[in-house]
């Protein structure tokens, strides 16, 4: 009980800090300096209709490379941690077959979900979406396949090939930006095109598609590692 009381006291302290923050908050009426720069310059400099994408992929592209690296590391560590111990002795346990609805539904829906994921990451510079969201949708298609057939084995070789090729191509495009345009991950190595068209915003559709493939492969490998661990 004393522990619960201490927890409540701590929460009351944090809550009062939050209350002060909340009561003292006044929303901005104008964009601040950074946001104003992005709002004014994105259309001319980057050519992307979605300003958030312009920030994530080009203005702060280096941070996104770091983010993808963190995601790669966590996928690798999940694979490493879960692979230990599950030696060759594991035998596929016999399970009851999944329902007709799930089995048929997965066969119908999985290709459509993959298509939606690809649509979302290819149109990342035009619509609310992008590589991370598209990659998550692709992985949710994989999750549906795993739910419909829990014993399904995804090819780890294929997943890691897609992932490493996408990662290397991402860094290579970044270095090309250094050579051909203004700096690392500069999107102006390709023509900017007309604002709002699919083939616009220079290298952003290319970079975001690679990020989408990489993120989808990483999430899928996490799902595969989690599903292949031995039943306890």
Residue 132 CB, nearest approach to other proteins (Å): 5
Residue (of 154, 136, 157, 162) closest to 215 by Cα position: 136
- Residue 149's contacts (CB-CB under 8 Å, 6 or more residues apart) are 98, 103, 106
Stretch that binds other proteins, among 92-100, 140-148, 164-172, 221-229 (CB under 8 A): 221-229
Q: Which 3 state secondary structure label does DSSP give 85?
A: coil
Residue 178 in contact with residue 184, Cβ under 8 Å? Answer: yes
Work out whether 127 is an interface residue with other proteins (CB under 8 A): yes
Smallest Cα–Cα separation from 200: which of 208, 190, 209, 210? 190
- Window 10-69: residues binding other proteins (CB under 8 A): 10-11, 14-15, 18-19, 21-22, 25, 27-29, 31-32, 34-36, 38-40, 42-44, 49-52, 55-56, 60, 63-64, 67
Residue 89 Cβ, how far from other proteins at the closest point, in Å? 14
Which residues, 177 to 196, sit near other proteins by CB under 8 A? 195-196
Q: Does 232 bind other proteins (CB under 8 A)?
A: yes
155, two tokens: 């090819």
CB 206 within 8 A of CB 190: yes
Name which of 8 and 180 has its Cβ closer to other proteins.
Answer: 8
């Amino acid at each position: 009980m004393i522990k619960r009381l201490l927890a409540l006291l701590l929460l009351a302290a944090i809550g009062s800090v939050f209350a002060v923050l909340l009561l003292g908050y006044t929303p901005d009426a104008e964009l601040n300096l950074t946001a104003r720069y992005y709002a004014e310059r994105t259309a001319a400099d980057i050519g992307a209709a979605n300003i958030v994408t312009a920030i994530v992929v080009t203005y702060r592209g280096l941070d996104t490379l770091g983010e993808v690296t963190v995601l790669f590391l966590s996928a690798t560590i999940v694979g490493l941690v879960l692979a230990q111990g599950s030696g060759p002795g594991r035998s596929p346990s016999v399970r009851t077959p999944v329902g007709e609805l799930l089995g048929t539904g997965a066969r119908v829906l999985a290709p459509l979900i993959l298509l939606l994921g690809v649509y979302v990451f290819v149109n990342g510079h035009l619509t609310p979406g992008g590589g991370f969201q598209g990659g998550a949708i692709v992985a949710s298609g994989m999750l549906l396949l795993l739910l419909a057939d829990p014993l399904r084995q995804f090819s780890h070789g294929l997943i890691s090939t897609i992932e490493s090729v996408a990662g290397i191509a991402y860094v290579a495009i970044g270095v090309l930006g250094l050579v051909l345009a203004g700096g690392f991950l500069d999107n102006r190595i390709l023509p900017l095109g007309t604002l709002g068209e699919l083939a616009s915003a220079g290298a952003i559709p290319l970079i975001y598609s690679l990020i989408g493939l990489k993120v989808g492969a990483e999430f899928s490998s996490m799902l595969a590692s989690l599903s292949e661990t031995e039943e306890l």
